[in-house]
Every structure is written in C-alpha cells, then in structure tokens.
Chain A
C-alpha cells in the first residue's frame, strides 16, 4: 500500500514543479491538493487528467482506492 508521502513524491515527479499536499488516514483513501504552474490555461478536467495520468491503469480504484483531488495554478 502506498503511503501519502509516496503518492506526494509520485505526483511531484510526474508534474515537474508541482507541489502536492497529500494526506491519508489508511493508505487507501488519499486526499491531494496539487499546485502546479502547468495547470495554467487548462480546465479542471484537463488538470485532473494530468494528475490521473501519473498513475497506472487500474491503480486508481485499486491500490489507491480513492484520490480526492483539488488542483490549483498557484
């Protein structure tokens, strides 16, 4: 099971320059707030897709049962 720190590291390495605050009580359900300049000019769906794309097929809904996501440009 991934830890919140591992999920944070993956998001930050997947989106260069991004800062992620990730919390989890159980290492299955995660909550992430991601701030990245790369989100500028993208709508929310596109911003979330960038984050989702970091994870492998089946990982979201699988080992990461839930990832509540908030994205911001700054």
Chain B
C-alpha cells in the first residue's frame, strides 16, 4: 500500500478494487468492467463514507495504471458555479480521446451530482450524450431519487450500503495496529455506534481520538472528540431551544455558522436527523419535521440564513413549552 498523506482516511483509502473490504457485489461487477476494458455510464448512490469515490478512483487506477490521473477529471457539483462552467470544463476534458493506452475513453467523475437542479441535470444529460464516445461519466450522489429519470436510464446504477460492523471493525483494527494505536474494545464500539457505517467519519474519529489521548483510544476519548464536533453541537443547540433558552441556542447557532463555517443547509440536515431520533412524542416529530421542512424551503427564498434558522429555534422553544404540559 502506498503511504499517501498524514490523514489516515486518505492514507488508507484502498487504491485498487482488490483492496476494498466491502460492497463485494459491486466490486466484482466493477472488476468485470476493468477486465473488459469497457464500461457504461455509472451512477453511484449511497450515504457518505461508504466507498463511492474510492470505488471509482480504484477502478480508474486498475483500468489505466499508475498514470490514471491523466485520464480522469473530478468535478464536485456543489463547488462548481453552475452548469455552464461544468459544461466548459467537460468540453475541454472530453473532446479528445486519450492520447495513449488501450482504453478509448476517459472518465469524468461528477460528485454530489444530486445537488444539481433538474434543469442543470437535463443540460448535463445533453453533455453526456455529446461526449459519450470519448468519455464515460460516473455520477455520484446520496439518493437516486434526486437524479432525473433520463440520466438514471442512461447509467448503470450501483447502490452502496453503509459498511457492516464486521468490515468496519476489521479495517479500523488494522489501521490502529499499523499506526501503533491501542484501540480498546469499548472505543471501537463507540466509533461504530457514532459513525453508522460511514468509514470516513470512523477513521477521522479514530485519528482525532488517538491524537487527543496519546495513542490509547477508549470510549471516553471518542466521546470527548464527538463533543467537539458539529452534530453534538447541533444537538446541544436543539436541547437549549427546547428548554426555552433561545438566546443561548442562538449563540451555538452562530458559532456553527461563523466559527465552523457550516452551511445552513447542513445544519438543518443535522437538526432534522436529530429530531427524528429524539425522545419526544411521535406526533411532535411530525410537527417539527414540518417546521424544519418549511425552513429548508425558505432558505432558498430568503437572504439571511441565520434568521430562518433562528425562527426554527424559536419554534422549538414554543414546542418545548407545549410538550411539557
């Protein structure tokens, strides 16, 4: 394994399809593409940190060899400014066939493709058609539902599942032993619980905990790291809101927006998943989900995300008071 990078999540990213520890069905189908030296357009869907990007990078390396970087272009839809700049980049990249090698096409990887609006996706579909001879597209996203039908029907769809706990444990143990970290059973359990099959998060958590505790990772080390990361702070914010401590909740919100630089949409996503899992009466979950949904929509309409999120915190305060009755 090539040692690349100081962050373990990158350093231990599988370099070849052979090294992937999970998604074995998907991996074996992808291996066949490599053997045949041909592939269709691909659509990878699944939650974060389950190997979607890893799989396509590994496939590219297996297909093109060590110079694979010359044959791929990675774009991230959420970082690009609109479909026009995407079109320009694709055009430059895809109008020529690979100069050397036995594979007659390049691969364009479009991550977070589901963040594109429907009209932008239609434009993307056109682009895919125009350059199909010299370029294969691999679109990556969280949900296939948010990819338009015409694109879905032109792609082979691969659904990636959260990693199983056994795979997680094996991989984390092997990293820990290579890095000389003493990973205790309760630490491992805490990582698995917190990361829910998201390998990137699991490895980041392991590395941060190891750094904090000088190489011994138990559950308290994990919790202390988690306490400093955004989902916990989001939970803290919700709880302050429900308790009616609006001003304090707003301070946490501001620190997430300003100090952590989080996007309002991401905070809202975490608020939503917190509320769904919280220990509150079921009918309140529906009501609050409605409130979150409304804010989610208003974020696209308004101009001050902080005010929209604060309005939600005030609703939480009201809900908390009514629930207590």
Note whether A and B form a binding pair. Answer: no
